[in-house]
Structure 1
């Protein structure tokens, strides 16, 4: 039974690739005393390396390999790469880090022998390799010839040692000679690296020199940092951080991915927090490999044949962390939830917390999970049912602040709609009151006629008074008393009207304050706000009722005073009435006068009510028109908040316009409400061309809405029968006719003009970029289904390579560009047991490792299929176009079956 290998893949480690334990005094000697000294020195070098946390060292003595065999078999758990340092004809010093298979290829057992073979055969150095004064001999070929030989035959990797020193690449030889070597690299003939010691500023100096020679497209040549230790205490004093398998194949990746695989500095900058990185996962199910699968913190790709458990692994991770996210994503685009269930699953986070499948007490963790075909379905679904703007909005609200802005916008608009409904109801009620009041005034009589009648009666009374025998003073007193009585009666009627209104207000006190919406806050905060609001409302209502009661008491007091004064006035009138009562005509005239004056007084009161009612109606109309403006203002406020976040940038331009829904306004209001046969008549008689309405600005729209409401009230607009009520008409007119128009462009293309693949990329980019606060893992299930190959390689590959530096990404894929092209740090191979695909024990098993992990393919069918070859070979077998993808990246990897023999 073969052991299952579950490696985390390429991880960062400290490498020191120029260590020289063989003293210059021992060079050229091979006696037992010298070998013992070399082994003792090497042991000391390894001990110091261990103390300095160096995990990989390169033994690179000048023209010598005597320390390598002993070092490789060390007990310090340090990886040793065999190497040698050479002097070239041009005066440069070269390091050669050997392919670990080199000595087997040339049929030798020891590295000391293999290096001697290399010095003689490849470097053209005559034996002995040292001069009589123990100085090392130079190579007998040109540097270009040697590098080409080493690279093309996969002997090793060439490094220009201490490049900025007097013996370095940038000091020895002329510029033309240096450029000739770099030109050879640019043309794809060779790869090599530079090396410096200690002075990190030399990196920029080297890069600037190369940019000066190649300003348009400078080659990316890795620059290593090593200690060049000639004494044990110097080992690990300078080092390189390299992200790779700790072997030759791992080092080889630095040549092709220097930006991603190599870091020079005192401390590695790991910007991922422990709480946002998945450390490992594990199935708890008899059908699955029970081992813990450790995950890389950068990019993890999961590959395998059909039904091998690759998507099941991803989905299990997602459901264990955030089941709601998985369900919501599937429901959003109508995808079926995968029916296969597993018994249990665990996700261990780097901060030590553990998430368990279906455990309600799981830690609060997040993911972005994108199911297979989700992005394409999202685009297709929304293009059929909603607008492109809705698609973008659905992505924008992944951001917490933007989601809050939209929720606040919705809350404010809901409040507006409630106010509009209440004001329409009030307007309709007040308009009905206006009609009834006009009828009431007409029923009382004609004001001008009544005033004329009063004047006529007063003249008749004056004439009778003159004939009655009353002197001038008595008539004047009598008239004053009558005037006082009239004013008291008039005031009495006004007070009674006010008392009626105040008592009505008392009965409506519960509607004084409407509770605002607290929908955007949590339940706990909402409950607290409701309690506090109710307290304030109770206090306010009590104060309000107290004010009303005070007014009612004062008016009742005034009524009592008026009653007393009326009684007194009647008593004062009695002496005059005695003299005048002899005239029956006068009595009738005075009764008629009082009746007509009462009518006039009632008309004046009702007309005052009428004027107040008209003002109130106009105020309601102003409010309704202002509310339509508020829809616009609310959008403007929300726009300011969204744009302030500055979330959409880089290669995308993003603007928000506030759009008037002109077509909807015409279809849903003009054509739906207006009587079509009468519409042209209305348009001709008005400056407002409602049949072809064009939005100019919000203030003009507010004015137009106000005019339309007045015209509906005044019956200047004829509607179809189902909109013959004022409320039904205004409910349509006063809808929110404004929306956001999201203007999203990339490379000159507007979103609605993009290809499906580009739309999918933009949506994915937005989903990830907008989730700026959490930096939790991203899980993608076969994203290649949403892209064509060209956009996948040019856009998605590049995007993932950048994003994996910020967040852990786990991808299930069939596409080599998302494995090889993204330089995946870890590849997990999935397999389901079958006749031709055997496993160790379980139905579903997995193996994992670095992309550069390679081994010769074994042909024994009894061996479990996952153990028959390396990760690189699995990638080429499983993924169609795998080998092409490797070669496309400038022959980044050399498949073991096509190595040239040396």
Structure 2
């Protein structure tokens, strides 16, 4: 399969490889034939994944073609060249395009004034600056070889040559850190561009290119370096040295980075039908004219990952874009992602319009994980969404959430649990108070009923009807036996039966391979026996219960029959009672009976109300305990939050300053009291809530419960009118007030000073552009999941993007994947995007073929990027002339 080159990456390049004759030049015996030597070069290149060899014998190009013929069929490039000394006896390696012939190379040697071609180490008659200039004119590339050794440019102190901008690179024998041992750290200071005498406008590229005299030397990490190119080639190679900070690395500079990335995207159907992209793991930039598909691409990624925008307008825009560009064709989006959360495993996420996302493991099995669980901290922001965040405090706090320690979530969970418990307690307390109130109403009737009974007794009927209260007591006892005692006992044993052990989970298949399977099998045997014994006991109890229930049922029937007999006797007694006040004897008897029945029904409630009061006292005690617990959790959460912000402020030093005002947003209290429709109290009359640092909903509820005097006597400035309205709140509303959660207020301050002492200003006092700048600083902080943004340059000035954002991007992209849709050249060009994708609209379709993808070192990409971002070559040159550059 032919490899496609659509993104820049680091390629391993060995830039000072010698042909097989070099060993003899060193005075050693060469035991290999030329073909054997070259075949071994090929084998090591494959093993070490070396893509480019620079052939550089001393003034000799004879062995280049043989090496090139062996390596070329295997896709390994050869940059032909030679090593040459200047009149100062300083060595340089000169390399040329891959198609350069040996005849051309010999002519170049002549042009460089090699006065004794038969002796390759004989110096040129050109000085260092002239040599560098001549190589540049010939279309080649040269670097200072072994710059710290005896034949090196630094050893010879050729400051004027070192500062020549045409000299792009210098080879060192080891790593920069290993040069610390050198006296006064001198070479290292020069190479890091910190020595004033040697300071260059553009820092020099530092490479490792150990002299390779035999194939196995290629395995030494110091024999090669890493050059970032889209497709390896000489022009891309040379271009890399224009930006060495981003594109040139030593092998020792690269360490394994563990972070998530979106590896590829494919779209089927809709406006972007057929678009396929292999993203870089570093900086990716989508460009194109207005309406070509940039925003659509980013919103498709958001849709596939089932993520919702933070802001309302952003959410609306997202839905419109997806509906218009994917929905009409029921399109499908597929992403391949690598998840840091899942230890670097690869997953395929696919979502068709109108359906939920599906997730597959690399082996093709359906995964139970959701996209959000694979990339829990991914951030996607559409156009103007950053501005929305800058205007909303809660969105800012949500953004800060990913920088908080794990303990913060623990306290949040504890607070939520405490609030749920308080809510449940309030409902129980409310019900208990309601029940007590109903019973109190019932008990208030008892004195009047008892007084009426006394009136009846005065008629002399007490002795004749004294059995009535006794019969009512029997009825009450009979009802309890029938409806409570037997039923409760039967239900309790049924629950025991339902709770018997089920040892299916301890099957032989489940435990055979476990290290302590013998002990687990014994546990299973014991549990099974316990179940058998319990069932036997239950069967015995069931027999006892059935027998006892039958006896009790018969006896209850006897009691009922007795009551009926007594009541029939009472009927006769009622008829024999003397009439009074126009009522017959029977009417008097029935009324007396009803009075006694009512009294017997109410009397037990004297005991019940004591139980209910005890329940209320216990619920209040529990509530107070929960409030104390909640207060502790809130204090711990605040302390932890402040600790996290301190760490964050260190990372944001001289950029942002973050502070927290705990529970300072009092609006929920004002909204709650407004919803209670307090008589004569509008929102303005509640302004005192925002005026006192010691205010809390719990304290306000406590004052309300204590009454008018406590409210007006507080230092909060509560007037009698307001206090009177507050004390009339229902008890349940006062309890609800205790449960209100007040949001923190996050103070974000931006350093608006570009130079000198820091000058921090609050977000509220900043311009729109400065507000967005503050948010961007937070977004660019380290995160293991990707950051995707649509036109981050909106509301920002170009100078800030070039000075701050691009600089941060270049540093951060080593440890995180970025994807930006942009119209601003600074991001893809100065940010040195590893992947640039260029959208065009063809026949009302957004297209991005492979040839429209790559880094800035791809000529077609570079040309299109210049046309889109700079207005074309003519416009760019006109600006250059007008600015006087």
Which residue in 2 is equivalent to 1:851? 855
CA drift of 1:17 comes to 0.1
Structure 1 position 138 matched with structure 2 position 154: no
Structure 1 position 335 matched with structure 2 position 317: yes
SS in 2 for 1:66: coil
CA drift of 1:695 comes to 4.0
Deviates more, 1:643-652 or 1:710-719: 710-719
Q: Distance in 2 between matches of 1:9 and 1:670?
A: 59
Q: Please report the TM-score for the alignment, with normalisation by the length of structure 2.
A: 0.62
| 1:251-278 superposed Cα distances (whole Å, 9 cap, x missing partner) | 33443443433332369533246xx444
2:768 to 756, 759, 763: 756
Structure 1 position 788 matched with structure 2 position 784: no
Q: Please report the TM-score for the alignment, with normalisation by the length of structure 1.
A: 0.61
SS in 1 for 2:210: coil
Paired residues of 1:65 and 1:111 also in contact (CA < 8 A): no
Change (3 A) 1:269 1:886: farther
Q: Distance in 2 between matches of 1:80 and 1:62?
A: 17
Q: Distance in 2 between matches of 1:847 and 1:794?
A: 31
Q: Distance in 2 between matches of 1:873 and 1:640?
A: 54
Paired residues of 2:335 and 2:348 also in contact (CA < 8 A): yes
Which residue in 2 is equivalent to 1:730? 734
Structure 1 position 877 matched with structure 2 position 867: yes
Which residue in 1 is equivalent to 2:385? 375
Q: Distance in 1 between matches of 2:616 and 2:170?
A: 85
Deviates more, 1:85-94 or 1:421-430: 421-430
Which residue in 2 is equivalent to 1:355? 349
Q: Distance in 1 between matches of 2:777 and 2:618?
A: 49
Matches within 5 A, 1:183-332: 184-185=163-164, 189-197=165-173, 201-202=177-178, 206-210=187-191, 213-214=195-196, 220-237=203-220, 238-244=223-229, 245-265=231-251, 268-272=254-258, 276-285=260-269, 290=274, 293-320=277-304, 322=305, 324-325=306-307
CA drift of 1:436 comes to 10
Q: Distance in 1 between matches of 2:671 and 2:73?
A: 84
Structure 1 position 170 matched with structure 2 position 148: no
SS in 2 for 1:379: helix
Paired residues of 1:648 and 1:769 also in contact (CA < 8 A): no
CA drift of 1:85 comes to 1.3
Matches within 5 A, 1:614-653: 632-640=631-639, 642=641, 648-649=648-649, 650-651=651-652, 652-653=656-657
Q: Distance in 2 between matches of 1:292 and 1:664?
A: 48
Q: Distance in 2 between matches of 1:170 and 1:288?
A: 55
CA drift of 1:676 comes to 6.7
Change (3 A) 1:347 1:693: closer
SS in 2 for 1:694: coil
SS in 1 for 2:744: strand
Q: Distance in 2 between matches of 1:141 and 1:169?
A: 15
Which residue in 1 is equivalent to 2:57? 61
Which residue in 1 is equivalent to 2:663? 659
Change (3 A) 1:161 1:417: same
CA drift of 1:332 comes to 6.1
Q: Distance in 1 between matches of 2:198 and 2:55?
A: 37
Please say which structure displays the higher CA radius of gyration: 1
CA drift of 1:875 comes to 1.1
RMSD: 5.8
Matches within 5 A, 1:366-405: 366=374, 368=378, 370-376=380-386, 378-379=388-389, 383=391, 387-393=392-398, 396=401, 401=406, 405=411
| 1:389-430 superposed Cα distances (whole Å, 9 cap, x missing partner) | 453236526989556654553343233244345446656877
SS in 2 for 1:820: helix
CA drift of 1:57 comes to 0.6
Which residue in 2 is equivalent to 1:831? 840
SS in 1 for 2:132: helix
Q: Distance in 2 between matches of 1:632 and 1:374?
A: 39
CA drift of 1:45 comes to 4.2
SS in 1 for 2:851: strand
Which residue in 2 is equivalent to 1:821? 830
Change (3 A) 1:423 1:308: same
Change (3 A) 1:336 1:346: closer
Change (3 A) 1:76 1:746: same
Which residue in 2 is equivalent to 1:419? 425
CA drift of 1:56 comes to 0.4
Change (3 A) 1:330 1:877: farther
Which residue in 2 is equivalent to 1:94? 92
| 1:562-595 superposed Cα distances (whole Å, 9 cap, x missing partner) | xxxxxxxxxxxxxxxxxxxxxxxxxxxxxxxxxx
Change (3 A) 1:379 1:702: closer
Structure 1 position 160 matched with structure 2 position 160: no
Q: Distance in 2 between matches of 1:812 and 1:691?
A: 45
Paired residues of 2:190 and 2:199 also in contact (CA < 8 A): no
Aligned length: 684
Q: Distance in 2 between matches of 1:710 and 1:352?
A: 62
Change (3 A) 1:127 1:328: same
| 1:306-335 superposed Cα distances (whole Å, 9 cap, x missing partner) | 333444444444434x1x215777776432
CA drift of 1:249 comes to 3.0
Paired residues of 2:825 and 2:870 also in contact (CA < 8 A): yes
| 1:589-640 superposed Cα distances (whole Å, 9 cap, x missing partner) | xxxxxxxxxxxxxxxxx99999999999898778767766655434223335
Paired residues of 1:242 and 1:263 also in contact (CA < 8 A): yes
| 1:217-245 superposed Cα distances (whole Å, 9 cap, x missing partner) | 88643221123123444345321122224
Paired residues of 2:7 and 2:280 also in contact (CA < 8 A): yes
CA drift of 1:18 comes to 0.5
Q: Distance in 1 between matches of 2:211 and 2:445?
A: 109
SS in 1 for 2:171: strand
CA drift of 1:60 comes to 1.4
Change (3 A) 1:318 1:142: same
| 1:98-150 superposed Cα distances (whole Å, 9 cap, x missing partner) | 3568xxxxxxxx533333443444x3x154434xxx25332323313433454
Q: Distance in 2 between matches of 1:253 and 1:607?
A: 96
Which residue in 2 is equivalent to 1:495? none
| 1:70-95 superposed Cα distances (whole Å, 9 cap, x missing partner) | 54443342111122212123332111
CA drift of 1:711 comes to 1.2
Paired residues of 1:20 and 1:228 also in contact (CA < 8 A): yes
Change (3 A) 1:215 1:826: same
2:21 to 20, 23, 31: 23
Paired residues of 1:632 and 1:738 also in contact (CA < 8 A): no
Which residue in 2 is equivalent to 1:147? 132
